[in-house]
Amino acid sequence: MWTVREECGNVFVCVSTECFPDLPLAKAMERLAELEFTAVEIDVHEGGPHLQPGGVAADPEAAIAACSDLQRLRPVAISFSSPETPELYERFTACCRLAKSLAVVTMVVEASELGTPFNGEIERLRKMVAIASGLGVVVGVRTTADRMTQDAETTASLCRNVPGLGVALDPSHFIYGHKKMASWEQILKYVCHVHLRDTKPDVFQVRIGQGCVEYGKIVAQLERVGYKRALCAHMPPIENVDQVAELRKMRLLLESLL
């Protein structure tokens, strides 16, 4: 079974293009580079503001061209989101090929909604892992409230039943809506990507330093299992808050922990 221990190198900071949803992709890249980030996660979401899976499948060369000016940012992950339609696997394959062309290893995907049959979700994720592994890409299913990965036990069970499946850990979903922070210890060994922002039990995203996320503890937990991948600032803008200042604060905070 694939685990994070098979990776080499060091933990590093990256940032999601979703942090600038109101800008075209090229402009978002430019702003992130100006903030002195060096690595980036590219969002490819159907109906999203930047690349879309249907567009990538329809015109792969145009998608590659759209990523041609990365402003010295190293692409390290693609966040994939597409509805459950007959075109899902075709679109996913196209995005995995885009990842391969960009030398990206990690593909972040959403789990199915709560209520989906467990065996059906295993079959879906097995198909995705098979497609991705054939192109040298690792699939990380994101921990998300109201989806099958909302708790660590179910997420770990998915990983046990889908050889090669990793986890994109988003600690905010173990904090928001919980009176007591939920544990993610049992999925640490499967983590292949991490999304970070600051969160309170009653507010999903707050300004850096005003929430309950213990960044140092998270880094220590990941170091204990040999994690050698990205810590990704995944922070959509907050109304009436300086997004540039918040992203700079997050970058400096994470870099200080490494």
Is the Cα dihedral 145, 210, 167, 232 positive or negative?
positive
Confidence of residue 8 (pLDDT cuts 50, 70, 90): very low
Q: Compute the distance between CA of residue 176 and CA of residue 178 in angstroms, rounded to an integer.
A: 6
Q: What's the average model confidence in pLDDT over 79-92?
A: 93
Taking all residues of the chain, what is their mean pLDDT, rounded to a whole number? 93
Report pTM.
Answer: 0.93
According to the model, what pLDDT value does residue 9 have?
67
According to the model, what pLDDT value does residue 159 have?
97
Per the DSSP assignment, residues forming a β-bridge with 189 are: none
According to the model, what pLDDT value does residue 6 have?
41
Is 80 exceeded by the pLDDT of residue 1?
A: no
Q: CB of 153 within 8 A of CB of 120?
A: no
Structure tokens at 27: 């402009």
- The enclosing domain of 21 has a CATH number of 3.20.20.150
Cα–Cα distances in angstroms (integers) from residue 252 to residues 37, 51, 255, 258, in the given order: 10, 28, 5, 10
Q: CB of 3 within 8 A of CB of 190?
A: yes
Cα–Cα distances in angstroms (integers) from residue 99 to residues 38, 106, 143, in the given order: 18, 8, 21
Instruction: Please tell me the total count of domains within the chain.
Output: 1
Structure tokens at 145: 């409230």
- β-pair type (198-200, 203-206): antiparallel
Is 60 exceeded by the pLDDT of residue 52?
A: yes
Predicted confidence (pLDDT) per residue in 200-239, tens digit: 999 999 999 999 999 999 999 999 999 999 999 999 999 9
Tell me which residue range forms the domain holding 62.
4-256
Q: Which of 224, 192, 209, 212 is nearest to 254 (CA)?
A: 209
Is 80 exceeded by the pLDDT of residue 7?
A: no
Predicted confidence (pLDDT) per residue in 21-31, tens digit: 999 999 999 99
Is 50 exceeded by the pLDDT of residue 50?
A: yes
According to the model, what pLDDT value does residue 72 have?
84
Predicted confidence (pLDDT) per residue in 134-153, tens digit: 999 999 999 999 999 999 99
Give the rounded percent of residues in the chain with a pLDDT score beyond 70: 97
Give the rounded percent of residues in the chain with a pLDDT score beyond 90: 87
Q: CB of 234 within 8 A of CB of 170?
A: yes
Q: Is 141 exposed, middle or buried (0-12, 13-18, 19+ CB in 10 A)?
A: buried
Confidence of residue 37 (pLDDT cuts 50, 70, 90): very high
Is 80 exceeded by the pLDDT of residue 164?
A: yes
φ and ψ at 240, to 5 degrees? 65, 20
Q: Compute the distance between CA of residue 243 and CA of residue 241 in angstroms, rounded to an integer.
A: 6
According to the model, what pLDDT value does residue 219 have?
96
